[in-house]
Structure 1
Amino acid sequence: MKKYKILISNDDGPASPLLVPFIKAVKALPICSEVRIVVPAKERSWIAKALTRFDPLTVTPHTFGDLPGFTVSGSGALGGTPADCVSLGINNLYRDPPNLVLSGINMGNNAGL
């Protein structure tokens, strides 16, 4: 069975009560070889696809349960968006890209608008 390096992100930040249980559930999957975690430093709902263009981003090591990961914040109004986190997790923070990206679990309504 193929094993995957899985990147986890969300839009609710590290304080989400669902994040650590989600990480543990993904880590327990038989297809999971490694869990990587990069989330916004604070709740960033409703701007998930926005990217920080000009302002610097700050990446801070963070522990999620017993797993290391990162939080991302910015100096500008939109810095540290969920899309910033996924982009950094795929392209910059690890030696090689993940095989799979999972985002969630979301605390709010997930209805498409």
Structure 2
Amino acid sequence: MLRTPRFPVWICCTNSSFSVLSSLNRSLLSDWRMEHLFHLFYYNGQSSQRTTARLTVDTHSHHWEASCRRSDGDPETRFPSLEMTIRTKWDGAAIDWSGTVPFY
């Protein structure tokens, strides 16, 4: 199942470190309507990460853009690199770290 995975899996390289984003929602691969509100699991393999982080991604909530317009500076310094990476696939997505401290 390497060419056609049963579950969505993405290998990311952020800040010169490889990590894995995955989802348990199989429909995320084939149905664009499932991309409204979903969970992603993030694991970077670093010793500082004790458990897999569960992220909630909401592609229809754009509250982060309003705060971006009000404050000065580069968005890459205000948002974690992983959030900016996720937004390359889901533009304007709001990411909730579900109580986990964001990885910068």
Q: TM-score range by the shorter chain?
A: under 0.3
Q: What is the TM-score when the length of structure 1 is the normalising length?
A: 0.26
Q: Which has the larger radius of gyration?
A: 2
More helix by share: 2
By relative contact order (CA 8 Å, sep 6+), the higher-ranking structure is: 1
More strand by share: 1
